[in-house]
Amino acid sequence: MTAPAQIPASVDAVLALLEQNDYFADRRLATSVFLALKMGRPLFLEGEAGVGKTEIAKVLARGLGRSLVRLQCYEGLDTASAVYEWNYPRQMIEIRLAEAQGRVDREALASNIFTERFLIRRPIMQALEPRDGAAPVLLIDELDRTDEPFEAYLLEVLAEYQVTIPELGAIKATQPPIVVITSNRTREIHDAIKRRCFYHWVDYPDALRELDILKRKAPEAAEKLSREVVAFVQRLRKMDLFKLPGVAETIDWSKALVALDKMTLDPQTVNDTLGTLLKYQDDITRVRGSEAERLLAEVRAELAAA
């Protein structure tokens, strides 16, 4: 990790910082990032799978020289896994040792074992503590997978950047972390959370931006192949499929084609490699064969005209 950098001074500076770290954002996303950083508010990113929501947090941490604290959400996530937990085995040992030494002053023992020494810090607490002098980036990933009680709990954290531990009192961040929350929108997140954040819907990139991404993330692909891949994927995204390919799939497909030594797309190769782009058998069946051929012909016509 490099030394902590200053918060970018403008939207252009955000765009440059992201790009230096291999992330290509549109101006609207860069503006949301800039405002979230400048105003010290969490950034709430929603969007389809594989459009670069999680990556933003990683890139910000890297670009700003901060450590990344990641909280992966899931159903049933509780404060013991997300915030803190008492280290019961160590507390038990401490009690046994005290007993063995004949020290059985209960009050003293209780105030001794409920101290920070016996606290296991989970991601949210870790994010309240600066590391190497700078507040971390806290990524709360896929918040839509948790239950509502956890969301309610998050409200206190996001409003005050503080956690209350009954035995210790309130623990407040000296420097608020940079918070990025993502959701795949499998359910709506409560308005109260959204209101505290800058909200941004992360869309699929346009062809130019997707080509920039490919050049950086799959540079071994021939220029012609990359253009074909992007044009093909952009067309697929206009179809009524169960699950459209994200940027992650475009990158995967390029790499797969390079691994097959392809310099250009042909119908057979498209059919044989659709599984890197589409993850549902119904979608694959719909595209394979004549539809793939039609899309490919359109792609060739488009690129020949360009």
Ligand X SMILES: Nc1ncnc2c1ncn2[C@@H]1O[C@H](COP(=O)(O)OP(=O)(O)OP(=O)(O)O)[C@@H](O)[C@H]1O
For ligand X, the binding residues (CB under 6 A) are: 22-25, 47, 49-55, 182, 184, 205, 213, 217, 247-248, 251
Q: Which does 49 bind (CB under 5 to 8 A by kind): ligand X, Mg ion, none?
A: ligand X
Residues numbered 94-153 forming contacts with Mg ion, rule: CB under 5 A? none
**Smallest distance, Mg ion to C-beta of residue 122, A:** 20
Query: Binding to Mg ion by residue 183, rule CB under 5 A?
Result: no
Q: Which does 55 bind (CB under 5 to 8 A by kind): ligand X, Mg ion, none?
A: ligand X
> If binding means CB under 5 A, how many residues of this protein chain bind Mg ion?
1
Q: Which does 213 bind (CB under 5 to 8 A by kind): Mg ion, ligand X, none?
A: ligand X
> Quick one: which segment of 47-55, 149-157, 186-194, 290-298 binds Mg ion (CB under 5 A)?
47-55
> Quick one: which segment of 1-9, 50-58, 281-289, 292-300 binds Mg ion (CB under 5 A)?
50-58
Query: Binding to Mg ion by residue 250, rule CB under 5 A?
Result: no
> In terms of CB distance, is 200 or 227 closer to ligand X?
200
Per residue, what are the HEC states of the chain?
CCCCCCCCCCHHHHHHHHHHCCCCCCHHHHHHHHHHHHHCCCEEEEECCCCCHHHHHHHHHHHHCCCEEEEECCCCCCHHHHCEEECHHHHHHHHHHHHHCCCCCHHHHHHHHCCHHHEEECHHHHHCCCECCECCEEEEECHHHCCHHHHHHHHHHHHHCEEEECCCEEEECCCCCEEEEEECCCCCCCHHHHHCCEEEEECCCCHHHHHHHHHHHCCCCCHHHHHHHHHHHHHHCCCCCCCCCCHHHHHHHHHHHHHCCCCCCCHHHHHHHHHHCCCCHHHHHHHCCHHHHHHHHHHHHHHHHC
Give me the residue whose beta carbon is nearest to ligand X. 52
> In terms of CB distance, is 54 or 146 closer to Mg ion?
54
Query: Binding to Mg ion by residue 54, rule CB under 5 A?
Result: yes
Interacting residues with Mg ion (CB under 5 A): 54
